[in-house]
C-alpha cells in the first residue's frame, strides 16, 4: 500500500485516504517503514523526527502515515496450537497476525482489544516475509476488564530461602507464594522446543534472593512485564531440584500468577503452617538439564600468557550500526560493540535498529579481545539483562537473524568459544560469505551439519576450530552461569587473540604480496656485487628487468589460506582462482607427475593451505653502472605478475560443482585419486557407484532438423552427442593466421590467438539421453571385444579459438577426452563441421587430417589416461600407444647421433636467465605477438632455461624461449620439472646443442619446485655443489662436461689482461671518458674487466683455465685492497696486458713497459703464484671447434729434486667458476679422498 505522509513531511509521495488499515494490508502492501501518530500535531512530529536524526544525521526519519490500527494483543497461544510459544507478543485482527514490540506492557492487556494511536511498521529488508510493529505509546483499551484484588498470604525470600538450602519436609503438592524485589531477570531460552526463563527475587530488607524458573507457555509474556528494581508477587510456586547438581529452586506451575506487589493487599504467612506433614522427595526438573545436555561440549584451552578478567558493568547506549545481526553484533554510540550471541534473542532482534536506545545490565566489558577488532566489546551472558529503552525514529531497515541453521551460533555453542575466538570466527565467516555468495548463494554456503550435508563454510571453519579448541571434554556449565552466587561464564576470562590464520580476498592477497616483495626492495639485491661491477649498462639493466620471489602460507602473519572458485579464462587460457573481488592465476600439478586435467572441478570452491605464491617482478631501469644501484631514481617503472602454484593433493574441495565430482571419481581421472583414504579430496569424492548410462538409438533420425541447437522436443532439449578421442599432439598458444572455410578473403585479417591439437577419434559419435550420463568408455569396450582391427581410428586437427581456448590447460598428451555437444541429437554434427586444412585443389593425398573448429558451446570432459586403462582394455591400449609421439631423453637430444629436428623431453630447470634474443629469431612471429596485451618484458629479450635430467645431473641442455611467448607460460622456475613438446633442436657454431620454442611447441608443468628449498630473488637458480674429479677423467665427456671441481696445482699464468671499457659501447674507457670518437660516445661511466689464462695440473693431466674478473684476483692471490689499487692504476691507462710462458700466438698484445706492467709480469713469474688451489669449472667452448680426443703423451714432471714421467691427455680448455685457497689440513684430506675414489674406480 502507499502510506499517507503529512503535508509538511516533504515526502512527495502519492497518498491514499486516511482511515483504518487491516493487518493483512499492512503486511502485504507496505514495503517501506512508516509511522502513524494520530494525536500529534505537525510541529510535534517534526520535533520527534529531529531528535531522532540527531543520533544518525545521515539517516532519514520515518515517513508519517495517517492510518488507524486496531487489534488484539496476544502471546500467540490461541492462533496455532502446534506453534512453540517463544515469549513474543503479537497484534492480531480477523485478517492476520503480526509480531509487535512494546516498551511497556501489562498482563491484563492480553487478549484485549486496543486502539494504537502511535506506532511504526518496520518491514524486513529482503521483503520475503512480513515485518513487525513497534508500539510507541501505550494503546487505548476498548474493553479492558476490571479485577477486584483480594488479600494474598505471601512468604518473603528471607523465609523462603531455607527451603532451597535444606530439605525441610513439606506437604505433597503444596504451593507457595513469594513476594520480593526483582533483582535479576534472565533472557528467554528455548531448548528442545521448550521456552523458559529465570528470575531472581530479593528480600526488601536484605540481600537474600531466591531463583524462580518460569516455564509454562502462558507465563512467557511475564518477561515483557518484569522490570528490575520493582516489587512483585508470584503465586503457586513449588520446589524442584536439578538432576545432576541437585541445586534447588522455585518453579512456577500452571496456576501461578504474577502480581504487582502491594503492601495493602498482602499479608505475611508463617512458613510452618504451609509446609508441614509427611516427607517427600523434591521433584526433578528436566528442562535445564536438557539445556545442559545440548551444550555438553568443550571449552577453550587455557593458553599461556596474561589472562585478563572482564569487568561487569551496566551501560546505556544507542544502536548506531548493525555489524552482523546473524552473529548478534551491534555497534553502540559508534565506539562499543554489543555481542548478544551468548544469549538466545528469541524475538529475532526486533527493535534493535539503528537509532534505538538500549540499557545493558551486568554485561562483560572486554578490551581488545581480538588484535584486529577495532572496538571495545560488551558481551551479554545468561546473567545479563538487555532492556530496550526507546525505539528508533529513523527509517532504518530491519534485518532479522536466521531462525534456524544459524552457523555463527551453532559453531559458538558447539565449541563453546570465548569472545576472542568467536570474533575471529565471525570475521572469517563474514569474509567467506561476502566473497562467494554471488557464486553459490548464501544459503548453500552457510548450510550447517544439521542438514544432510555440511555447507562450504562449515567445511572450511570446523578444522580451524578443532585446531585451536582441542579440548572438548568439559561442558559449559549452564547452572552455574545462571544460578550460582559466584558468577562463572565463558566471558569472564579471556586472552587477546592473535588470529592463527587468515583467509583474505584475492584482491587483498595481491595487495599484500606486492607490498611484501617491494618492502625494503633494492635492485642491488638481485645481483652479486662481484658480478655487477663488471657488467655494461645494457647487460646490467637486462639482468634487473625480470626477477621473482615465492611466498608460502607461513610467509604471512598470520598464516594465509587461499580460497577460490576454480575457473578457466578463455582470454588468458589459464586456470584461475576467483572470488568476488578478483582472480588469481594458478598452476596445478599432481604429486605423481601426471598432468592436471580435472575438467569436473571447474566451478568448485577450493581451499589451499600448502602452496607457492609466485610474484614476478618486472623493472624498467636505466642504471649507468652498478655504483648507482642504490639510487632508485633510475627505476623508471615497476610492475608485478602474481600467480599461485600448488598440488592437487593439497586441495580441499569445499563445494563441488554439481554433478561433476562423482563422475570424476568413477572414471578415475588420475591415479592420485585412487586408494587414498586419508586424502581430503578423496573423502569429498566418495559416492556410490552410479548406474550404467542409457544409450539412445545411435541411428540418426533423418526427419529431424539438422540444426541441433534449435530442437523443439523435450528429448532433444536434454539429449547430447559425444565423441571420444585421444590427444596425440598439442601445440602452444599463440597468434595464428587461420583462414576458416566460408570466408571469401583471408587477406588483411588480424591474427587470432589460438592453439591446435592433433587427436585420434575413437569409435563413433554417441547419443545420450542427458549429458550427465556420458561417463563410461563403451567405445573401448567394443574395440576390446572386436580386437585391434575393430577399432575405428581417424585423425583430426582440432582448432581452438575464442571461448574454446578455456580448454587449453586441461588438454594433455596421452589423455582420453570426450567432446559433449549439449542439446543436440545429430550424430553427424562433427562430420558436418570438419573441413580440409588446405583448399581441395591443393590436397594431393588423404594423409592430411581434417580440421575441426571446436565450438564455444561444446564441453570437454576428461575421461582417463592411457596408462590407467583397465585390464580388459589392454588391447586398445597397445593400439593407442602406437600413435604416441616420441619422447626423448636429454642425453639423447644432445648426442651427436640424434637426427630429429623437433624434440620432446622432460627435465628439471636448474637455471633461468634473461638474455638478448637469438639473432636468428624470425621477426614475423615476434612482430605479430607484440600486438598482444600483457607482455611485461621487452620483445627483444629471451629467457634461457638450463634443463637437466635431475638435480646435480651432469647433462644440461639450454632452452631458449622468446619473451613474447612468456605471457602464456606460468611456472618456469628453477626446481620445476617441465615437459617440453616439439622444441626445435639446433647446433651452435661452437657445436653446442640447444633448443628453441617455436610455433608448434608446448610446455606443461610436471612437478613444482621443492617448497623446502630457498627460492632465489634473482632470475637464475643456484647450481648444486660440484663433485671432485680428475682431469684425466674429463677427456671422454668433452661434449657434455658438467660443472665440476678439481684439486690442482697452479703452474703459471699464461696471459693477463686488465682493462676499463665504456658501459655503453664497450670501447676503451680511459681517464674518465670513452675513447670512441666516431661517433662520439656520451658515456662517462666505465666498467672494469679482467681476464687471464692459467695453466693447472693435478697429476693426471693439464688444463688451460680461462678466468674472468674477480676470479683473476683470486688466481693472483691479491687481497681486495690490493686489487682495488691495481684497478685504479689501470683506469688511467685504459688497458694493461702481459703474456708469459707458452702463451705466444694467443692474440694478447703486450703493452709497452711501465710500472704496472712490470709489477704484473713479476707477479706472474713469482713462485708465490704456484700453489695448490680448489677450482670449480666447466668446459670453455669458445674455440671454433672442440678438440677431438688425442692419444696420450709422455710428459716430465719435477717435484723438488725428483723428476717423474707420466702419460697425460692433451690440455683441456676450461672456464673458471670459483677459486678457493686450500689449507694444509684440507689439502691432505682432499688428497686422501681423491685417492680413495680413484682406487674404488679401479
pLDDT confidence bin for 149, thresholds 50/70/90: low
Q: Does the pLDDT of residue 283 top 50, yes or no?
A: no
Q: What does 956-992 look like in DSSP terms, one character per residue? A: EEEEEEEGGGGGG-----TT-EEEEEEEEEEE-TTS-
- CA pair distance 597, 815, nearest whole angstrom: 9
Nearest to 1179 by CA among 945, 1021, 990: 990
H helices of 305-418, where?
407-414
pLDDT confidence bin for 224, thresholds 50/70/90: very high
Place of cell 545420450: 768
Highest mean pLDDT, choosing among 336-345, 748-757, 1095-1104: 336-345
Q: Are 543 and 490 in contact (CB under 8 A)?
A: no
Nearest to 224 by CA among 356, 340, 87: 87
pLDDT confidence bin for 299, thresholds 50/70/90: very low
838-858 mean pLDDT: 71
795-813 mean pLDDT: 91
Q: Does the pLDDT of residue 267 top 80, yes or no?
A: no
Q: What is the pLDDT of residue 127?
A: 63
pLDDT in tens, 20-35: 889 998 888 888 899 9
656-660, 712-716, 762-766, 1166-1170, range with the lowest pLDDT = 712-716
Joined grid coordinates for residue 186:
534472565
Q: Are 89 and 132 in contact (CB under 8 A)?
A: no
Q: What is the pLDDT of residue 737?
A: 78
pLDDT in tens, 968-1027: 788 899 999 999 999 999 988 777 889 999 888 999 899 999 875 444 444 444 445 667
Q: Assign 3-state DSSP to the chain and report helix, strand, coil percentages, each to 5.
A: 25, 35, 45
Q: Are 558 and 499 in contact (CB under 8 A)?
A: yes
Scored b (16 or more CB within 10 A) or e, 769-782 reads eebbbbbebebbeb
Q: Are 1216 and 1096 in contact (CB under 8 A)?
A: no
| Residue 659 or 99, more confident | 99
Q: What is the pLDDT of residue 1023?
A: 43
Nearest to 973 by CA among 555, 644, 539: 644
Q: Does the pLDDT of residue 833 top 70, yes or no?
A: yes
Over pLDDT 70: what percentage of the chain? Answer: 76
| Residue 870 or 744, more confident | 870
Joined grid coordinates for residue 1113:
684476483
Q: What is the pLDDT of residue 919?
A: 62
> Other CB atoms closer than 10 Å to residue 1191's CB: what's the count?
7
H/E/C letters for each residue in 76-105? CCCCCCCCCCCCCEEEEECCEEEEEEECCC
Q: Does the pLDDT of residue 407 top 80, yes or no?
A: yes
Q: Are 369 and 494 in contact (CB under 8 A)?
A: yes
Nearest to 1112 by CA among 1222, 1221, 1218: 1218
- DSSP letter (8 states) at residue 394: B
**Helical (H) or strand (E) element with 531:** helix 529-532
Q: What is the pLDDT of residue 451?
A: 54
Q: What does 866-910 look like in DSSP terms, one character per residue? A: GGG--GGGHHHHHHHHTTPPP---HHHHTSTT---SEEEEEEEEE
- CA pair distance 290, 87, nearest whole angstrom: 19
- CA pair distance 107, 260, nearest whole angstrom: 10
pLDDT confidence bin for 1199, thresholds 50/70/90: confident
| Residue 671 or 1010, more confident | 1010
Q: What does 761-786 look like in DSSP terms, one character per residue? A: EEEEEEEESSGGG--S-HHHHHHHHH
pLDDT confidence bin for 577, thresholds 50/70/90: very high
Q: Are 911 and 1021 in contact (CB under 8 A)?
A: yes
Q: What is the pLDDT of residue 286?
A: 35
Q: For the chain, count helices (H), then strands (E).
A: 27, 61
151-162 mean pLDDT: 84
Q: What is the pLDDT of residue 339?
A: 95
- Length of the chain (residues): 1242
- CA pair distance 192, 286, nearest whole angstrom: 11
pLDDT confidence bin for 426, thresholds 50/70/90: very high
Q: What angle do CA 465, 467, 472 make, to 5 degrees?
A: 75
pLDDT in tens, 725-740: 999 889 888 888 776 6
Nearest to 314 by CA among 382, 380, 367, 362: 362
pLDDT in tens, 1105-1123: 999 888 888 888 888 888 8
Joined grid coordinates for residue 939:
620483445
- CA pair distance 685, 677, nearest whole angstrom: 11
403-407, 846-850, 1199-1203, range with the lowest pLDDT = 846-850
124-133, 647-656, 784-793, 1046-1055, range with the lowest pLDDT = 784-793
Q: What is the pLDDT of residue 884?
A: 57
135-162 mean pLDDT: 80
Tally the C-alpha atoms within 13 A of residue 317's C-alpha that lie toward its C-beta: 21
111-125, 347-361, 393-407, 896-910, range with the lowest pLDDT = 393-407
Q: What is the pLDDT of residue 278?
A: 36
Q: What is the pLDDT of residue 686?
A: 37
Nearest to 657 by CA among 581, 566, 528, 562: 566
| Residue 717 or 14, more confident | 717
| Residue 136 or 14, more confident | 136
Q: What angle do CA 425, 426, 431 make, to 5 degrees?
A: 105
pLDDT confidence bin for 294, thresholds 50/70/90: very low
Map residue 460 onto helix, strand or coil: helix
Mean pLDDT for the chain overall: 78
Q: Does the pLDDT of residue 580 top 50, yes or no?
A: yes
- CA pair distance 32, 13, nearest whole angstrom: 12
pLDDT confidence bin for 268, thresholds 50/70/90: confident
> Other CB atoms closer than 10 Å to residue 710's CB: what's the count?
9
pLDDT confidence bin for 423, thresholds 50/70/90: very high
H helices of 353-452, where?
407-414, 419-440, 442-445
Q: What is the pLDDT of residue 838?
A: 60
Q: What is the pLDDT of residue 290?
A: 33
Q: What is the pLDDT of residue 931?
A: 42
pLDDT confidence bin for 920, thresholds 50/70/90: low
Over pLDDT 90: what percentage of the chain? Answer: 26
Q: What is the pLDDT of residue 272?
A: 59
Q: What is the pLDDT of residue 596?
A: 92
- CA pair distance 1113, 1090, nearest whole angstrom: 9
- CA pair distance 210, 182, nearest whole angstrom: 10
Q: Are 503 and 1031 in contact (CB under 8 A)?
A: no
Task: Please name the residues in contact with 97: beta carbons below 8 A apart, sequence gap of 6 or more.
Answer: 23, 74, 76, 79, 90, 91
271-288 mean pLDDT: 41
pLDDT in tens, 631-641: 888 888 888 88
Q: What is the pLDDT of residue 1022?
A: 43
φ, ψ of residue 330 in degrees (nearest 5): -130, 145
Task: Please name the residues in contact with 675: beta carbons below 8 A apart, sequence gap of 6 or more.
Answer: none
Q: Does the pLDDT of residue 201 top 90, yes or no?
A: yes
H helices of 87-235, where?
157-160, 162-165, 222-225
Q: Does the pLDDT of residue 69 top 70, yes or no?
A: yes
> Other CB atoms closer than 10 Å to residue 797's CB: what's the count?
18
Task: Considering only the C-alpha atoms of the chain, give the largest distance between any 2 of them, rounded to a whole number of Å.
Answer: 138
What are 673's strand-pairing partners?
Answer: none
Highest mean pLDDT, choosing among 510-524, 935-949, 1220-1234: 510-524
Joined grid coordinates for residue 30:
507496505
> Other CB atoms closer than 10 Å to residue 86's CB: what's the count?
18
Q: What is the pLDDT of residue 304?
A: 41
Q: What is the pLDDT of residue 1038?
A: 55
Q: What is the pLDDT of residue 630?
A: 83
C-alpha dihedral sign at 436, 442, 448, 454: negative
Amino acid at each position: 500500500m502507499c502510506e499517507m505522509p503529512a503535508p509538511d513531511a516533504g515526502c512527495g509521495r502519492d497518498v491514499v485516504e486516511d482511515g483504518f488499515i487491516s493487518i493483512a494490508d499492512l503486511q502485504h502492501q507496505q514495503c517501506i517503514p512508516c509511522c502513524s501518530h494520530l494525536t500529534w500535531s505537525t510541529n510535534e512530529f517534526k520535533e520527534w523526527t529531529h531528535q531522532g536524526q540527531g543520533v544518525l544525521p545521515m539517516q532519514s526519519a520515518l515517513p508519517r502515515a495517517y492510518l488507524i490500527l486496531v487489534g488484539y494483543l496476544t502471546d500467540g497461544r490461541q492462533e496455532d496450537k502446534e506453534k512453540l510459544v517463544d515469549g513474543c507478543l503479537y497484534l492480531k485482527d480477523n485478517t492476520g497476525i503480526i509480531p509487535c514490540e512494546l516498551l511497556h506492557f501489562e498482563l491484563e492487556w492480553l487478549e484485549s482489544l486496543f486502539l494504537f494511536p502511535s506506532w511504526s511498521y518496520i518491514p524486513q529488508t529482503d521483503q520475503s516475509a512480513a515485518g513487525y510493529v513497534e508500539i510507541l505509546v501505550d494503546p487505548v483499551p476498548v474493553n479492558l476488564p476490571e479485577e477486584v484484588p483480594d488479600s494474598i498470604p505471601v512468604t518473603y525470600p528471607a523465609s523462603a530461602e531455607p527451603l532451597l538450602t535444606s530439605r525441610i519436609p513439606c506437604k505433597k503438592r503444596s504451593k507457595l507464594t513469594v513476594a520480593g524485589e526483582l533483582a535479576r531477570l534472565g533472557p528467554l531460552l528455548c531448548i528442545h522446543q521448550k521456552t523458559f526463563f529465570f528470575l531472581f527475587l530479593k528480600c526488601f530488607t536484605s540481600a537474600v534472593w531466591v531463583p524462580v524458573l518460569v516455564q509454562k507457555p502462558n507465563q512467557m509474556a511475564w518477561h515483557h512485564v518484569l522490570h528490575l528494581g520493582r516489587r512483585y508477587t508470584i503465586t503457586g510456586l513449588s520446589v524442584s531440584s536439578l538432576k545432576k547438581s541437585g541445586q534447588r529452586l522455585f518453579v512456577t506451575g500452571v496456576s501461578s500468577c504474577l502480581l504487582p506487589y502491594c503492601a495493602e493487599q498482602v499479608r505475611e504467612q508463617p512458613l510452618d503452617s504451609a509446609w508441614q506433614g509427611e516427607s517427600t522427595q523434591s521433584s526433578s526438573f528436566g528442562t535445564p538439564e536438557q539445556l545442559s545436555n545440548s551444550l555438553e561440549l568443550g571449552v577453550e584451552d587455557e593458553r599461556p600468557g596474561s589472562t585478563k578478567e572482564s569487568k561487569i558493568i551496566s551501560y546505556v547506549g544507542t544502536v548506531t550500526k548493525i555489524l552482523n545481526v546473524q552473529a548478534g553484533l551491534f555497534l553502540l554510540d559508534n565506539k562499543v560493540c554489543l555481542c548478544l550471541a551468548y544469549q538466545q534473542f528469541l524475538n529475532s532482534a526486533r527493535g534493535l535498529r539503528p537509532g534505538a536506545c538500549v540499557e545493558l545490565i551486568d554485561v562483560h566489558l572486554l578490551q581488545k579481545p581480538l588484535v584486529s577488532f577495532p572496538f571495545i566489546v560488551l558481551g551479554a551472558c545468561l546473567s545479563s539483562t538487555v532492556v530496550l529503552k526507546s525505539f528508533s525514529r529513523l527509517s532504518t531497515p530491519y534485518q532479522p537473524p536466521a531462525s534456524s541453521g544459524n552457523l555463527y551460533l551453532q559453531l559458538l555453542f558447539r565449541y563453546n568459544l570465548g569472545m576472542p575466538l568467536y570474533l575471529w570466527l565471525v570475521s572469517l565467516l563474514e569474509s567467506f560469505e561476502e566473497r562467494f555468495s554471488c557464486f553459490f548463494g548464501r544459503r548453500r554456503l552457510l548450510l550447517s551439519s544439521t542438514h544432510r550435508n555440511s555447507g562450504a563454510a562449515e567445511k572450511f571453519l570446523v578444522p580451524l576450530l578443532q585446531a585451536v579448541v582441542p579440548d572438548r571434554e568439559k561442558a559449559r556449565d549452564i547452572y552455574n552461569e545462571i544460578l550460582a552466587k559466584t558468577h562463572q561464564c565463558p566471558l569472564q576470562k579471556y586472552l587477546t587473540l592473535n588470529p592463527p590464520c587468515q583467509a583474505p580476498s584475492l584482491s587483498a592477497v595481491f595487495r599484500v604480496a606486492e607490498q611484501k616483495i617491494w618492502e625494503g626492495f633494492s635492485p642491488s639485491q638481485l645481483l652479486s656485487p662481484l658480478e655487477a661491477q663488471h657488467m655494461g649498462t645494457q647487460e646490467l639493466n637486462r639482468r634487473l628487468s625480470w626477477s621473482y620471489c615465492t611466498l608460502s602460507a607461513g610467509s604471512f602473519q598470520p598464516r594465509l589460506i587461499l580460497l577460490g572458485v576454480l575457473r578457466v579464462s578463455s582470454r588468458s587460457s589459464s586456470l584461475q582462482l576467483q572470488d568476488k573481488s578478483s582472480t588469481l592465476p594458478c598452476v596445478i600439478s599432481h604429486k605423481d607427475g601426471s598432468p592436471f586435467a580435472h575438467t569436473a572441478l571447474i566451478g568448485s570452491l577450493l581451499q589451499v593451505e600448502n602452496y607457492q605464491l609466485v610474484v614476478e617482478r618486472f623493472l624498467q631501469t636505466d642504471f649507468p653502472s652498478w655504483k648507482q644501484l642504490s639510487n632508485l631514481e633510475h627505476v623508471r617503472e615497476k610492475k608485478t605478475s602474481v600467480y599461485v602454484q600448488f598440488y592437487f593433493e593439497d586441495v580441499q574441495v569445499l563445494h563441488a560443482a554439481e554433478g561433476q565430482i562423482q563422475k570424476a571419481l568413477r572414471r578415475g581421472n588420475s591415479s592420485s585419486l585412487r586408494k587414498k583414504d586419508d586424502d581430503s579430496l578423496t573423502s569429498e569424492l566418495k559416492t556410490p557407484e552410479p548406474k550404467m548410462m542409457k544409450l539412445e538409438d545411435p541411428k540418426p533420425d533423418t526427419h529431424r532438423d539438422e540444426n541441433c541447437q534449435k530442437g523443439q522436443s523435450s528429448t532433444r532439449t536434454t539429449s547430447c552427442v559425444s565423441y571420444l578421442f585421444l590427444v596425440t599432439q598439442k601445440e602452444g598458444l599463440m597468434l595464428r593466421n587461420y583462414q576458416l572455410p566460408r570466408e571469401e578473403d583471408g587477406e588483411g585479417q588480424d591474427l587470432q590467438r589460438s592453439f591446435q591439437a592433433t587427436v585420434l577419434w575413437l569409435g563413433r559419435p554417441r547419443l545420450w539421453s542427458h549429458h550427465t550420463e556420458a561417463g563410461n568408455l563403451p567405445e573401448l569396450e567394443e574395440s576390446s571385444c572386436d580386437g585391434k582391427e575393430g577399432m575405428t581410428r581417424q585423425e583430426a586437427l582440432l582448432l581452438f579459438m575464442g571461448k574454446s581456448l578455456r580448454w587449453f590447460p586441461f588438454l594433455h598428451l596421452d589423455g582420453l577426452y570426450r567432446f559433449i555437444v549439449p542439446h543436440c541429437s545429430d550424430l553427424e554434427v562433427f562430420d558436418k563441421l570438419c573441413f580440409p586444412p588446405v583448399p581441395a585443389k591443393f590436397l594431393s593425398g588423404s594423409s592430411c587430417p581434417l580440421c575441426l573448429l571446436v565450438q564455444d558451446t561444446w564441453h570437454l570432459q576428461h575421461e582417463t589416461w592411457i596408462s590407467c586403462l583397465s585390464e580388459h582394455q589392454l588391447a586398445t591400449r597397445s593400439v593407442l600407444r602406437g600413435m604416441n609421439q616420441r619422447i626423448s631423453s636429454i642425453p639423447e637430444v644432445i648426442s651427436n647421433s640424434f637426427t630429429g629436428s623437433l624434440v620432446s623431453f622432460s627435465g628439471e630447470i636448474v637455471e633461468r636467465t634473461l638474455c638478448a634474443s637469438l639473432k636468428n629469431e624470425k621477426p614475423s612471429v615476434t612482430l605479430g605477438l607484440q600486438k598482444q596485451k600483457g607482455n611485461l618484458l621487452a620483445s627483444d629479450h629471451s629467457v634461457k632455461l638450463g634443463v637437466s635430467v635431475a638435480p646435480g645431473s651432469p647433462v644440461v641442455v639450454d632452452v631458449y624461449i622468446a619473451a613474447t611467448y612468456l605471457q602464456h607460460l606460468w611456472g618456469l622456475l628453477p626446481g620445476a620439472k617441465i615437459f617440453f613438446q616439439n622444441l626445435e633442436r639446433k647446433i651452435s657454431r661452437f657445436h653446442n646443442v640447444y633448443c628453441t620454442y617455436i610455433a608448434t611447441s608446448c610446455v606443461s608443468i610436471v612437478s613444482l619446485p621443492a617448497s623446502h628449498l630457498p627460492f632465489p630473488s634473482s632470475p637464475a637458480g643456484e647450481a648444486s655443489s660440484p663433485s671432485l674429479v680428475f682431469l684425466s677423467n674429463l677427456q671422454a665427456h668433452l661434449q657434455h662436461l658438467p660443472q665440476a671441481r678439481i684439486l690442482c696445482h697452479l703452474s703459471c699464468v699464461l696471459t693477463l689482461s686488465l682493462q676499463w671499457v665504456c658501459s655503453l659501447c664497450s670501447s676503451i674507457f680511459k681517464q674518465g671518458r670513452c675513447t670512441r670518437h666516431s661517433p662520439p660516445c656520451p658515456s662517462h661511466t666505465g666498467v672494469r674487466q679482467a681476464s687471464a689464462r692459467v695453466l693447472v695440473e693435478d697429476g693426471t693431466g693439464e688444463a688451460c683455465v680461462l678466468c674472468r674478473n674477480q676470479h683473476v684476483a683470486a688466481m693472483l692471490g691479491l687481497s681486495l685492497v690490493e686489487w682495488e689499487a691495481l684497478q685504479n692504476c689501470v683506469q688511467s691507462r685504459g688497458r694493461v696486458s702481459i703474456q708469459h710462458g707458452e702463451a705466444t700466438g694467443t692474440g694478447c698484445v703486450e703493452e709497452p713497459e711501465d710500472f704496472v706492467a712490470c709489477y704484473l709480469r713479476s707477479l706472474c713469474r713469482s713462485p708465490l703464484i704456484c700453489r695448490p688451489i680448489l677450482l670449480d669449472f666447466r668446459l670453455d667452448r669458445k674455440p671454433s671447434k672442440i678438440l677431438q680426443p688425442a692419444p696420450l703423451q709422455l710428459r716430465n714432471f719435477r717435484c723438488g729434486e725428483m723428476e717423474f714421467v707420466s702419460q697425460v691427455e692433451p690440455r683441456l680448455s676450461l672456464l673458471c667458476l670459483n677459486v678457493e685457497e686450500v689449507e694444509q689440513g684440507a689439502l691432505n684430506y682432499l688428497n686422501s679422498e681423491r685417492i680413495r675414489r680413484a682406487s674404488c674406480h679401479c
